[in-house]
Chains A and B, each alone.
Chain A
Amino acid sequence: MELGFLLGSLLKIIAIIAYIYGLMWVLGRPSIWAKIAGLVGAFAVVQLALTDINGFRLLNNFDNGLLFQACAMTMVALGLNLIYGFNGQFSLGQWGFYGIGAYAAADITYRWINGDARGLLVLGLGTLLGTLVLIGINTWLQRFRGIPVLSSFTLYLIGALIAGTVAVYLGNQLNPLITPLLGTAGEPGPLNTPAVQQIIYFLSVILAGIFAAQISFLFGLPVLTLGSDYFGIATLGFTIVVNTLMVNSDTILPFPEMKGGRGMIGIPKLTTWFSAFFFMMLVIIIMRNLIHSSTGRSLVAVREDEVAAKAMGIDVAGAKLFAFVVGSFFAGLGGAVYAHYIGFLSPGTFDFLAGFNPLIIVVFGGLGSMTGTITATFGWIFFLEGMLRVLLSQMGTEAPTWRFVLYPITLLLLMLIRPQGLLGSVEWGFLKGPQFTPAPRSRPEPAHESVA
């Protein structure tokens, strides 16, 4: 066993945690320039570590892979923490939305580089029309009182299906206008330069997020009326359905390029450190601003006591749906970033057993702690996937299997020693949200003379 490797890995994990702490600290400074400088600096440090300088790189290819995996997982886990940790809805569906995001974004860019614009057109128009239709139906339903959930769900579903059909039709009609500009994979056209591909990639990530969010809206509307445990089972079912559809994407779904159970190969590897960092920070900032606002407080209130939340004027069903949709949006973004890093999607990755990973991370890091989720994701990926795997593989070919003995034992111990998770509900710097110190007040008006 190599002591050097062990020490190096430990050092890396400590450095990563210090890095996250520093980033959150600098983002927590009041000055906007400090925040921008911190973001640019944090980006540059890692970019430098990834660059080849005279044949030396601080982070090798293996670490590189772990880094991108951790970025994608951070988005997924933060989304789940919003749903489970902050809103209190036990969900196993996060992995399904992750898969939907990955496949949707991969399909857009894969088709694009192969001279087919329909992926972008259909999904772009579909999400746009779908959003308009859903908002329209919602506004119209506001006029009525006491509509059963299933009735409104049926309306939304019909609306979404019509929007989808129109999008497919328009996409097929508009496609011939763009196709000549795309060229083929062998001879790229003017719209297939690396710069344009990056733009398409950014669009595809955002569209994948919105698409996942729309699916989650339609799924969540009827299912969120279930109580917590039943909701968990229903979302588990969702993940399994999505996985089955992936395995059969070339037979029962009309997507031959996804190649079903054989896995989708040839996805352009467009994820750079810039985009991974950009989307991860986007998710972190949205999440933090959301949690530390009145809406965020209402989400937490629903977790704490639904009946009391209702009596405080909070729309409990709406709050649950909102958290679920935003959480799934994050998962969709994460999936899209992951797909364009790895370049190969297999349904095995989105198996429901793997879907427990974000759940474990969220519980490990602390329910209701954003800091906990972020550090737990990086720690988990670099410890489990990185250090432990390499270390054990040096002890014999069968040894890596011990990972799945050591790691559940770690979990067991943690749950026994610290059931509230590693960080409980502690937040660092930026993630703490706005602080205030109340002015020392001299009693303005005594309410009542207390009886001595």
Chain B
Amino acid sequence: MEMKSNGNKPTVLEIRGLTKFFGGLAAVRNFDLTLKQGELVGLIGPNGAGKTTVFNMITGLYVPTSGEIYFNGTNVVGLEPHEITRMGIARTFQNIRLFPNLTVLDNVRIAYHPHCGYTLTDGLLRTPRFSAKEKELTEQALNFLSIFQLDRIYNEVAKNLPYGEQRRVEIARALACNPQLLLLDEPAAGMNPREIIELMDLIHFIRERFDLTILLIEHQMRVVMGICEWITVMDFGQVIARGTPKEIQENPLVIEAYLGKGVTHVA
């Protein structure tokens, strides 16, 4: 397949031969993926195909059985999750994981912790630097919230928010980590069609605005087909197809994985 205009862009993420066994079960086997700067790539597949396991390995929550993950040329396998986040990979979760009893603002401000700009001593002694930086990061956090139209509810406790707003807070929080690569795990899960359209606009917008590379797991075909430039399809831990949305839609293997054998002839 041709490489479009992204051909000469630098590689952000390169995954080679990634394998993860849980006991005797291969959750992911020989997974390869390359993401270039600024790409928006979808990762799809039926339930249990190993998509979230791939995410967990990229972010360091699981240690791969074998294989390499290069982020900007550095192998991140074996690093602690927080070290990987600090290198510039942020994520959201399939089942929203906000800090439930904290306010929306604090949820976002926590993401500033690794780059808050002052030390613990500054905080304990309340130095001018503490006050200045704290004010600055609060302003920045509010800015993020206003982009996501959440600034009016900055003082609400996160667990009291409706589902769609919780999703947006989670994305805002991930962006506050100042990432280069954003991993979105089923962002449209549980959303109604109107919210899905808004979400697609939002993903486009943040990609342009923050110059992000995005890897997206999604079940909703209209989201994936609508916004992704490239799609990788997984089934039973293995990659079964890659290509543009149009190619994927016509790929018999993909149709078989989703709908079962025999349907290919009908389609």
A residues apposed to B, CB below 8 Å: 145-146, 286, 289-290, 293-298, 300-301, 304-305, 307-316, 434, 436, 438, 441, 443-445, 447-451
Assembled-state Cα–Cα distance A114/B122 (Å): 42
Q: Chain A: which residue is nearest B60 at the CB level?
A: A310
Chain A contacts for B60, CB-based, 8 A: 310
Q: Is B264 an interface residue (CB 8 A)?
A: no
Q: A294 touches which one: B61, B116, B148, B173 (CB < 8 A)?
A: B116
Asked if residues A313 and B118 are in contact (CB atoms below 8 Å), the reply is no
Q: Chain B: which residue is nearest A452 at the CB level?
A: B194
Chain B contacts for A293, CB-based, 8 A: 118, 120, 122-124, 130, 134
Q: Knowing A290-B124, A294-B112, A307-B97 touch, does A313 contact B130 (C-beta < 8 A)?
A: no
Chain A contacts for B100, CB-based, 8 A: 304-305
B91 to chain A, nearest CB (A): 5
Residue from the set A146, A294, A300 with the largest chain B CB neighbour count within 10 Å? A294
Q: Chain B: which residue is nearest A293 at the CB level?
A: B123
Q: Chain B: which residue is nearest A296 at the CB level?
A: B123
Asked if residues B101 and A313 are in contact (CB atoms below 8 Å), the reply is no
Q: Which 7 A-B pairs have the closest CB atoms?
A: A293-B123, A304-B99, A448-B201, A313-B85, A310-B81, A308-B97, A294-B116
Q: State the main secondary structure of chain B at its contact with A.
A: helix
Asked if residues B173 and A447 are in contact (CB atoms below 8 Å), the reply is no
Q: Is B114 an interface residue (CB 8 A)?
A: yes
Q: B118 touches which one: A294, A296, A443, A451 (CB < 8 A)?
A: A294
Q: Is B140 an interface residue (CB 8 A)?
A: no
Residue from the set B106, B111, B154 with the largest chain A CB neighbour count within 10 Å? B111
B48 to chain A, nearest CB (A): 20
Assembled-state Cα–Cα distance A310/B201 (Å): 28
Asked if residues B123 and A297 are in contact (CB atoms below 8 Å), the reply is no
Chain B residues with a Cβ closer than 8 Å to the other chain, count: 58
Q: B113 touches which one: A289, A314, A441, A449 (CB < 8 A)?
A: A314
Q: Chain B: which residue is nearest A318 at the CB level?
A: B82
Q: A441 touches which one: B126, B142, B177, B194 (CB < 8 A)?
A: B142
Chain A contacts for B154, CB-based, 8 A: 438
Chain A contacts for B202, CB-based, 8 A: 447-448
Q: B123 touches which one: A290, A313, A438, A447 (CB < 8 A)?
A: A290
Chain A contacts for B190, CB-based, 8 A: none
Q: Chain B: which residue is nearest A450 at the CB level?
A: B198
Q: Is B226 an interface residue (CB 8 A)?
A: no
Asked if residues B205 and A300 are in contact (CB atoms below 8 Å), the reply is no
A302 to chain B, nearest CB (A): 9
Q: Chain A: which residue is nearest B120 at the CB level?
A: A295
Asked if residues A441 and B120 are in contact (CB atoms below 8 Å), the reply is no
Asked if residues A289 and B102 are in contact (CB atoms below 8 Å), the reply is no
